[in-house]
Every structure is written in C-alpha cells, then in structure tokens.
Structure 1
Amino acid sequence: MRNSSCILILCLLLTVPALAQKFPPIYLFSYFKGNGEDGLHLAYSRDGYRYQSLKNDKSFLKPAVGQDKLMRDPCIIRGHDGRFHMVWTVSWKEKSIGYASSDDLIHWSEQQNIPVMAHEEGARNCWAPEITYDASSRQYMIYWSTTITGKFPETQDAAENAYNHRLYYTTTSDFKTYSPTKLLYDPGFNVIDANILPVGDRYVMFMKDETRTPPKKNIRLAFSNSLTGPYDKAGPPITGQYWAEGPTALRLVTPWIVYFDKYQDHTYGAVMSDDLKTWTDVSDKISFPKGARHGTVVNIIQRELDELLKEN
C-alpha cells in the first residue's frame, strides 16, 4: 500500500499544477563517479537546478556483477508496482547489463547480470542502459547502445576504437523474463545514451550523436508515436560547441530541462525549453556534486528523502 500511495501522490503532483506548487516534488539524481568502481551515488534537489549529494557522497550500492564490476550510467525509474528499478553499465566490453530493484533506494535486491546481447557474436559492448515504462502495454522497455562488428559500415570510423553504435531494446513485465533483443533506432550515425520520455500521446528520445569524424558529440531529439518506434529523423543539436553526453530530461512544472555531462570540461550542463523546439542554455544556473557523471532523475516524496538523509 505504501508504494501505491507514493505513485498516486507523484501522479497528482505531476498533473495538477496547483498541487505541484503547494507540494513541490523532490528530484533525485542517480550518478557514478570515477570509473564507476564504487557504485551508486545519489543527490537531491527541490528546484531542479541545485543538487546536493546524499550520504556525504558515498556509495549507496557497490557493484557485484559483470567482468569489470562497474556501476556506470545508473538509470532509476519508479515502476508501476511502486518499486524503484535500476539498470547500469557493468563493463566496458561485456554483452550484458546490470539490474536491481528497491523499495526505498537504500536496500537493494540481489544484482542480476542480464545477457541482452549474448546472441550476437560480434557484439562488443552494452553501454548506458535505460528503462521507460509503457502504460498501454504494461511493459518496461530497457534500451542501450551496442557496437556489432561489421554492422552499419557506412558510418564506420577508425577513431575511438572503431566503435559504431546503434540502439537496441528488450521488453519485460516482471524483470524475470525478457523479449528477444531488437534494433530500436538507426539514425544514420553512431548513436549512444538514449533517454526516452512520454510527451502527450507520443514519445521523445534524447540521444548523443557520437560521430567522431568530423566530431559532433552533441545531443539531439527524435519522436515516435510508439515507445518501441519507429522514431523519426533526428533533429538538429540542442547543445552547443562542446562535447556533451548522457542526457537526462526532466519536466518541471512548466518547462523541460535536459541535463548532460560536459565530460571534457568535467562538469554538468543543461538546456531548457517550453516546446521541445527552442532551447536556452542554463548551465550557469545549475549545480551538481563535484565529479558527478552520467546519471538520471526520478521523482521522490519527502518521506523517502527523510530516510535517505538518515544514511551516512
């Protein structure tokens, strides 16, 4: 019942502006530091601009699966069951992703290593998995980027270890059984770091154009009428003349804000829009914990934050 109540409260806050103003949601940012060796870090914000680390910026969960035992690119969502579900990158060169769930973001289930690309002999990696829930089908879609040797030769580049990614996905209703992996999106360029959210009766995908020659390294958008696609042609970049990756989008009471890792500058940036068309850079208005890398945002309520604040 506790989890169902949390979902109801959050739904009301996100859909009724008056309630959102009286009881503003709390934004929880999940991220990693360094190379992801020490695991899951969390920070919170009440305004969507300034994030403060929790547990003195110590890890909430140590990685336990994968060849390299990393916990990079953690993505957390609140499921329709009220539980928090998380996926992450477990290794630089493995054909699997990590998964765990939690009721309170403190105590986590046993970690799983899901072999989503084991069937592809030429698969080189599984990077930056994320989860989006499809209420119409009652299915979760897990999606990530993978390079498969020999695939998509038209965008092959020798630079950066010849990685040439496309986006792939699987669906599940219970995180126990998974549909066969399929291609989600081939935008005609090397693409990583997708983040998909519902917008009205459509879905918007934020992604990184990973093209190296000539360098793009920017964030772009595509839309679809269905979560599993097809997605339309990627739009123009919404970020500037710097290298950006790991976009995660959040809809505040009115505008959209997209955070991203300005990884060459070792800091975080952000852009904002009212219509997903015209974007304004608001990087000077945000703050994240020092050293934060590629994460995602989920809404929580005060009771959940109170428990997180007790951790030290």
Structure 2
Amino acid sequence: MKRYLVILIVVFLSSCSKEVYLFSSFHEPADQGLRFLYSYDGYKWNDLNKVYLKPEIGNQKVMRDPSIVKGPDGTFHLVWTSSWKGDKGFGYASSKDLVNWSEQKFLPVMEHEPTTVNVWAPELFYDQDNEQFIIIWASTIPFRFPKKLEEEDNNHRMYYTTTKDFKSFSPTKLFIDPGFSVIDAVIVRRKANDFVLVLKDNTRPMRNIKVAFGTSAVGPYTNVSEPFTGNFTEGPSVAKVGDEYLIYFDSYRDKKYGSVKTSDFKTFTDASGQTSVPVGHKHGTIFKANKAILKGLQRTAGIDTAKVNK
C-alpha cells in the first residue's frame, strides 16, 4: 500500500512539474485586463476566457501589451501599457501563481523627459548572465530623431532600464536607434553572447517585422534584417519549440494572427497554416510554466481540469 501511494505521489509531482506554454493576452478595447492562452505544443492555443487582473493605474487605466517573465525565485513579473498617450511610465505587478496579484504600481521611467508622448509595449527579459531584469519599451520624444513619413509624435525609439528587485531601477537609457521608428521589440537569448532582437519597423509605409543581432542582452544590436513579414504586422512574440523558434505576430489589418518559424533568424518559413490562435487575442508574451500553474488558472476560470489536461 505504501509503495502504491509513493508511486501515485511521484506520478502526480512529475505531471505537475511538466511545463506548458502560456501566452499573456488582452482584448480590445483593453479596459478589461489580463487574459491567458495556453498550449501544450506551442502551435495550438486555447483561450482560458477569463480576466485575471483588472487595470487600476495610468491615465486611461487600460492594460495593453502585457509582458510576463518568471524570475529565478519562481515569481512572475508583469508589465503593461497603461495609456495610449500621456503616461510617462507603465504598470507593474507580480504573482506567484498568476491568479493572485500584488498591488499594482506605476513605474515612471520617462518622467525625466517632459515632452515624452507615450510609453508603449514594455517588454520584460530576465538576463541570466548578469542576474537582472531588463525592461524595454518604445517612446516618442518629438524632434529628438530624424523621421520619415510618420508624424513627429509617432517617431519612436526603444529605451530600457534594469532592476534586480523591481524596487530600484537603473537610469533610463536609449536601447536602440536603428535609424527608423521602432516599436514592439523582443529580446531572444540563443546562448551566452548571442542575442536576437525581434522588432517592428514602424515607419511609413513599412510597418513590418525585422530582426537585429547583438552580443549582449542590452545591445548594441546591429545588422538589421530585411522584413520577414508583410506590412501591417506588429506585436511579435517568440516561442522556442524544439530546435526552432516560432515567431507569432498580429496581422492587424487582416484581423488575424500569423506566424513564421526559423532556426537561425535568417531564413523564415510561414507557419500560419500550422498554428491556431483564438480570435480576439492581442499582443502578449509567450513563456513557460508548470502544469500546476495552468491548473490553477483553469480552476479559477471554472474549467474542469480532469477533462482538459493531458
């Protein structure tokens, strides 16, 4: 009997420790709050159809572009766009289980630049090589950089700050100026001293997605590629699946999600026919969590975990 119980416990713990893919999400008009998709293989996504955190801060009190990363202690950290314009920072909260969240805070990362128009799509990255979190985002400071066809208040560059504890932060610095308006950037670590930046060229008429390369998580990033998506695409999110990377993106003019896969970030193959993303999902971050975390999300959403989990 004891041996049987031990076997059951081992099987249960093994099942809960297996990881699944989670995709942070929001729905327009972005005033409802944080949602999640989940996937067992990185290709087929399911909507939990539940709001887990309502936005309470910022001028507009919205939650757009939710980005989540898990720290080395198991805590999940979340940042998001809190207003289209007017805010000189973004929202922050943390959680151990993605269900119960800390008090929301506003991080005023651009308050030192009084003419800042906006702070868009903050993206979290845990820099394991330097044991710190990096937060990057897009902001427009009018008349600061050369522009092309876009308006002066829509000429973005990427900025960043670092932190170890989300209490103290390094001074804000310019992250990348690729010579064009850039938003929606995502850092990907392939190995030590080998990083890829997936970014949106937001110039008119481009508005498509490219990559750049660096030897450090904070750059510099150079050798910006030609676009690998069509125009009117944004919000890239990256998942490592086996030996390949899946890059998801919002084809917002067509009102659907597309995807490509690559093993080297030089050759990209359309994978849209192999992937499925629920209607309504918008720009978030793909990350991994164990099945126990997913079961907690499902229970909170009123889903029978015995029926849906493998």
Task: Give the TM-score, by structure 2 length.
Answer: 0.89
Match of 1:69 in 2: 61
| Matched residue type, 1:307 | G
1:110 to 103, 108, 111: 103
**In the alignment, which residue of structure 2 is the partner of 1:32?**
26
Find the residue that maps to 2:300 and give its secondary structure: coil
Instruction: Please name the residue that 1:45 is paired with.
Output: 39
Q: Which residue, 70, 91, 96 being the options, matches 2:89?
A: 96
- AA aligned opposite 1:40: L
Runs of 4+ in 1 over 4 A off after TM superposition: none
Decide whether the 8 Å contact of 1:145 with 1:193 is kept in 2: yes
Amino acid at match of 1:225: T
Determine if contact 1:187/1:233 at 8 Å carries over to the other structure.
Answer: no
Q: Is the 8 A contact 2:199 2:211 kept in 1?
A: yes
- Name the CA distance, whole Å, in 1 between partners of 2:142 and 2:73: 38
Unaligned runs of 5+ in 1: 1-18
Matches within 5 A, 1:1-312: 25-54=19-48, 57-93=49-85, 94-152=87-145, 154-159=146-151, 162-201=153-192, 202-212=194-204, 215-239=205-229, 241-312=230-301
- CA RMSD between the two structures: 1.5
SS at match of 1:308: helix
Structure 2 residues not aligned, in runs of 5+: 1-13, 302-310
Change (3 A) 1:191 1:259: same
In structure 1, the partner of 2:307 is none
Report the alpha carbon displacement of residue 35 of structure 1 after superposing the two structures with TM. Answer: 2.3
Deviation track 1:80-111 (CA, whole Å, cap 9, x = no partner) reads 12100010000011111111000000000000
Distance in 2 (CA, whole Å) between partners of 1:308 and 1:40 is: 12
Aligned pairs, how many? 284
- What is the CA deviation profile of residues 274-300 of structure 1, one whole-angstrom value per residue up to 9, with x for unaligned ones? 222110011122111211111111101
CA distance in 2, matches of 1:245, 1:38: 21
Alpha-carbon contact 2:260-2:268 (below 8 Å) kept: yes
- TM-superposed CA distance for 1:228, in Å, is 1.2
Shift of 1:30: 0.5
Note the C-alpha offset of 1:271: 0.3
What is the percentage of aligned positions where both structures have the same residue? 46
2:285 alignment partner, SS class: strand
Output the amino acid matched with 2:290: I
Larger radius of gyration: 2
